[in-house]
Structure 1
Amino acid sequence: MFLSVESSDPDQVVYVDTDLDGVVGKAVILECGSTIPDGYIWGFTQSGTDTSKAVVYDFGKGPKLQNLSQSLGDIQVISGSASLSIEHLLLAAEGLYTCQAFYDMDQVAKLTYYYIRLRVLVPVSKPYILLSDASPAEGSLAWLRCDLENGTGPLYFLWEHETNSGLVNTIGQGSSNIFNMTIVNRNNTGWYRCVARNQVNQERSDRIWMDIIC
């Protein structure tokens, strides 16, 4: 959703501000108004820095991509607009984008700033399970941990238990990647899987066997 805040001279300068999510390796579109300006400059400030650098500009002779654009993904200016399309989005593309759009309306110059804060999300990778003990004694304590290499938080975890007969039950879920079994018994023997999920995707681990020693 766009939030517009006009300056004390609304006929001269307009500010438009929004937040946008993208996904690593996917495509995203950064909007610079609904009409083609007479000229524009796209700037980028990477997250964690204070320096804005030019990405592309057009002063009426066609868009000119700058070297910086290569480190963000495959950038193109959408035909018939000043908006940007970034394909194969890179993690380094996360940050603040500013489009300064210049309009000449009845000989009164108008300038609009489009601020877009882009967050680049990383899908969860396939998780794997670590056991405190693959063959714990009945009555002892045990835990299982669901680990993964990549994935933007917040993360959500679900645990499944499969018996020898093939019956699958959900035994736990929540934000913790650890499932604690305070007092194990023979009914806990079986296969275990975990599912890791974020707002982009979800992945299921391979199953792992736990054998309770009676």
Structure 2
Amino acid sequence: MLIRLTGMLLISIQTWLITHGVESPDPDQVVYVDTDLDGVVGKAMILECGSTVPDGYIWGFTQSGTDTSKAVVYDFGKGPKLQNLSQSLGDIQVISGSASLSIEHLLLAAEGLYTCQAFYDMDQVAKLTYYYIRLRVLVPVSKPYILLSDASPAEGSSAWLRCDLENGTGPLYFLWEHETNSGLVNTIGQGSSNIFNMTVVNHNNTG
């Protein structure tokens, strides 16, 4: 998979190769590195682009649900140039002495595929490595609250309780506990469902 870039950046890539007297890389010598990462909304994380500093690089981003990659930052030997897109992903900076990205205050819109296209000048022949990072941005689970079909059901009737929350990335796991008036706590249900059904209510359900 090749990164789709604007015409200006494609010209810059060619200019970089020409000014460095470097031949275009042999497609058979292109290296691909795949990584899956999880980040958390509002937190910080690092996206790595190799262990050594390339002679030139481009970071691209493809938002989830789309197939077009847009440039986030590039450096063809004159220092990193952040693009406007970076502002919608979080507080992005290139880590000094590397081509890796530091993202502070990660935003939900930052979820997607990141591609670092790194060029290395290897004896007049370009070595090209694609670092693919699939980033999933997780939303912390907010404080849950319970809704009841009937706050005071009659004995012998049926009722349900539903555990709702405003935010939270799935899959979610629910643990239902019942505390009696005497303070005894028992687990009465667990699993992926946020609904607990009481088919026949009796006085033992009080609590």
Given the alignment of the two structures, is residue 170 of structure 1 paired with residue 187 of structure 2, yes or no?
A: yes
Shift in Å, 1:100: 0.5
Q: Which runs of 5 or more residues in structure 2 are unaligned?
A: 1-20
Q: Tell me the alpha carbon deviations over residues 37-74 of structure 1, each in whole angstroms, 9 at most, x when there is no partner.
A: 00100011111112211100111111111111000001
Q: Which one has the bigger strand percentage?
A: 1
1:144 to 152, 161, 167: 161
Q: Which runs of 5 or more residues in structure 1 are unaligned?
A: 191-214
Inter-CA distance 101–5: structure 2 relative to 1 (3 Å threshold): same
Shift in Å, 1:172: 0.9
Shift in Å, 1:18: 1.5
Query: Structure 2 matches for 1:21-36, cutoff 5 A?
Result: 21-36=38-53
Q: Tell me the alpha carbon deviations over residues 139-174 of structure 1, each in whole angstroms, 9 at most, x when there is no partner.
A: 111110001111111111011111111111111110
Instruction: Using the aligned pairs only, state the percent identity.
Output: 96
Inter-CA distance 8–54: structure 2 relative to 1 (3 Å threshold): closer
Inter-CA distance 98–6: structure 2 relative to 1 (3 Å threshold): farther
Q: How many residues align?
A: 187
Residue of structure 2 in register with 1:78 after alignment: 95
Aligned-partner Cα distance in 2 for 1:6–1:137 = 82
Shift in Å, 1:131: 0.5
| Alignment RMSD | 3.4
Q: Give the secondary structure class of the aligned counterpart of 2:28.
A: coil
Please tell me whether the aligned partners of residues 14 and 112 of structure 1 are also in contact (alpha carbons under 8 angstroms).
Answer: yes
Please tell me whether the aligned partners of residues 25 and 127 of structure 2 are also in contact (alpha carbons under 8 angstroms).
Answer: no
Shift in Å, 1:7: 14
Shift in Å, 1:10: 7.4
Shift in Å, 1:11: 7.0
Shift in Å, 1:12: 3.2
Q: Give the secondary structure class of the aligned counterpart of 1:5.
A: coil
Inter-CA distance 23–129: structure 2 relative to 1 (3 Å threshold): same
Please tell me whether the aligned partners of residues 25 and 128 of structure 2 are also in contact (alpha carbons under 8 angstroms).
Answer: no
Q: Tell me the alpha carbon deviations over residues 172-209 of structure 1, each in whole angstroms, 9 at most, x when there is no partner.
A: 1100000011111111101xxxxxxxxxxxxxxxxxxx
Inter-CA distance 119–6: structure 2 relative to 1 (3 Å threshold): farther
Aligned-partner Cα distance in 1 for 2:151–2:28 = 71
Aligned-partner Cα distance in 2 for 1:8–1:69 = 28
Inter-CA distance 152–7: structure 2 relative to 1 (3 Å threshold): farther
Aligned-partner Cα distance in 1 for 2:171–2:111 = 17
Aligned-partner Cα distance in 2 for 1:130–1:111 = 56
Runs of 4+ in structure 1 off by over 4 angstroms are: 4-11
Please tell me whether the aligned partners of residues 5 and 14 of structure 1 are also in contact (alpha carbons under 8 angstroms).
Answer: no
Aligned-partner Cα distance in 1 for 2:178–2:147 = 15
Please tell me whether the aligned partners of residues 13 and 112 of structure 1 are also in contact (alpha carbons under 8 angstroms).
Answer: yes
Q: Which one has the bigger helix percentage?
A: 2
Please tell me whether the aligned partners of residues 24 and 126 of structure 2 are also in contact (alpha carbons under 8 angstroms).
Answer: no
Shift in Å, 1:107: 1.7
Inter-CA distance 8–36: structure 2 relative to 1 (3 Å threshold): closer
Inter-CA distance 155–92: structure 2 relative to 1 (3 Å threshold): same
